[in-house]
Structure 1
Amino acid sequence: MSTKFPEVQGGGSLILAWQIRDKHVLVVGGGEVAAGRILNVLNADAKVTVVCPAAGLNEEVAYRVSQKQVIHVDRTFEPQDLEGVDMVLCAIDDPAASTRVWQLCKEKKIPANIADVPPECDFYFGSMYRDGPLQVMVSTNGNGPKLASIVRKKIAETLPDNMGTAIENTGKLRRKLRHVAPNIEEGPKRMKWMSGICESWSLEELVKMDEQDMDNVLTYYASGKVPTYAEVQVKRDVQS
């Protein structure tokens, strides 16, 4: 049998960038774990409702409520809270109540995460590193959250401080390119050309690239040439 293809490694999770902008997320609980979950989904631009007695809100969650970053329902969870919900995050210290939330979510086919109970989770929260548009998640599939945090810190230490800015500039250039070459059939050429820019320009050069540089870079696209940063600066000097 051929061994040139990757071997299947069962037991993993499908790691995805889940787009939940404007989706309705229900958080059951208001303690420290809930606070972390709330921040994660707010960073993804979700609409968040927190169901928890006011006395159970920790300082951070109470702050989110006071700033109207989340909607607060001042009582314990009730089944009707699931109406119109796209995702449920449960973080309470009552195993029986947590399982009931899980069962109701399964009945309604709502994806849910029951904190610290891997068998009752449709998805896990990994340890996240964030630098602007760059997001790196480390997951242990529920086996060792602390170890995930340690691995994430080691990865973060190897990344340049300005990686986020370089990615933001690359994204701007990519969007400009789509205006220059909007046709679907241009797709393969666009991808190859953008790959050439990312591979041939240094991180520092991508960070320094401004709007004028981007416009000058795009003048090379039609020919398929990938210009060097130096060539783009020469063109800039001529324009000055």
Structure 2
Amino acid sequence: MEQLNLYPVAIKVQGRRCLVVGGGNVAERKVAGLQECGAEVVLVSPELTPELERLVASGRVIHLNREFEEGDLEGVHLAICATDNKALNREIARLCENRRIPVNVVDNPELSTFFVPSVIRRGPLCIGITTGGNSPLLARRLREELEEHIGPEFGELTLFLGKLRQIIQERFSDPEKRRKIWEKVLPPGFFAHFQKEKMNSWRKQVEECISSPWE
């Protein structure tokens, strides 16, 4: 496979229609990932896993109980092919390309226009790891390794920094002052010493930092 330099992006799918073709275990994982991000999931397959059947029964997934049809792509924000039918996957990829719909064909990087990374989520903090389709297992192993070092406290930290960003933007109009404040709030080597039990004392230091004169 030709080596690709991928352009990493994070796509908003909240409230948007996303298509998953297939009803097996892989499709189940793809549906779960899309739902976690608030997507409106349309699932096309005559057969489903018990978990997918449960989601359909709960009304959380729109299920088309049949084989894929071209009209299923109408109004779709992105598509994921998770079937073991190579000819069908290729046809869906072609149709998506014609309609300029991003498509991921599971286990076929050449047909895919985007890849779903192995993800670590800590609240609003999202870290994605991809190998460009070369080795999904490597991406998973790296994720497992990083999860040992990036705990739930990083989600709390991210939320706090989001609120702090608003305060700093409102209080300081000079971009250079903002930069200096952020460098003091998050100095080099910060994460090596950051621990949940030290969060309160760190917040106090941050409050003192933004309250001090910056003329």
Pick the TM interval, shorter chain.
0.7 to 0.9
Q: Alignment partner of 2:141: what SS?
A: helix
Q: Alignment partner of 1:158: what SS?
A: coil
Give the aligned partner of residue 57 of structure 2.
66
Q: Residues of 1 paired with 2:84 and 2:95: CA distance?
A: 18
1:142 pairs with 133, 144, 147, which one?
A: 133
Aligned residue type for 1:44:
C
Aligned residue type for 2:35:
L
Aligned residue type for 1:21:
Q
Matched, 1:85 2:85: no
* Residue 174 to residue 116, structure 1, CA distance change in 2 (3 Å): same
Aligned residue type for 2:71:
Q
* Residue 66 to residue 172, structure 1, CA distance change in 2 (3 Å): farther
Give the aligned partner of residue 30 of structure 2.
37
Give the aligned partner of residue 208 of structure 1.
200
Q: Alignment partner of 1:199: what SS?
A: coil
Identity %: 29
Give the aligned partner of residue 224 of structure 1.
214
Q: Alignment partner of 2:20: what SS?
A: strand
Give the aligned partner of residue 191 of structure 1.
179
Aligned residue type for 2:40:
K
In the TM superposition, residue 49 of structure 1 has moved relative to its aligned partner by: 1.1
Q: Residues of 2 paired with 1:212 and 1:149: CA distance?
A: 37
Structure number with bigger Rg:
1
Aligned-pair Cα RMSD in Å: 2.6
User: Which region of structure 1 is more displaced relative to structure 2, 105-114 or 169-178?
Assistant: 169-178
C-alpha contact 1:126 1:148 (8 A) present in aligned 2: yes
* Residue 209 to residue 108, structure 1, CA distance change in 2 (3 Å): farther
C-alpha contact 2:120 2:147 (8 A) present in aligned 1: yes
In the TM superposition, residue 18 of structure 1 has moved relative to its aligned partner by: 2.0
Q: Residues of 2 paired with 1:97 and 1:160: CA distance?
A: 41
Aligned residue type for 2:32:
L
Q: Alignment partner of 1:85: what SS?
A: coil
Give the aligned partner of residue 96 of structure 1.
87
Aligned residue type for 1:199:
P
C-alpha contact 1:169 1:207 (8 A) present in aligned 2: no
Matched, 1:167 2:158: yes
Number of aligned residues: 209
Q: Within 5 Å, which residues of 2 pair with 1:119-134? A: 119-134=110-125
Q: Residues of 1 paired with 2:163 and 2:154: CA distance?
A: 14
Q: Residues of 2 paired with 1:160 and 1:21: CA distance?
A: 25
Give the aligned partner of residue 19 of structure 1.
12
Q: Alignment partner of 1:141: what SS?
A: coil
Return 5+ residue gaps in structure 2 as ranges. none
Q: Residues of 1 paired with 2:94 and 2:106: CA distance?
A: 14
* TM-score (ref. length: structure 2): 0.84
C-alpha contact 1:87 1:110 (8 A) present in aligned 2: yes
Aligned residue type for 1:74:
N
In the TM superposition, residue 121 of structure 1 has moved relative to its aligned partner by: 0.2
In the TM superposition, residue 15 of structure 1 has moved relative to its aligned partner by: 1.8
In the TM superposition, residue 217 of structure 1 has moved relative to its aligned partner by: 5.3
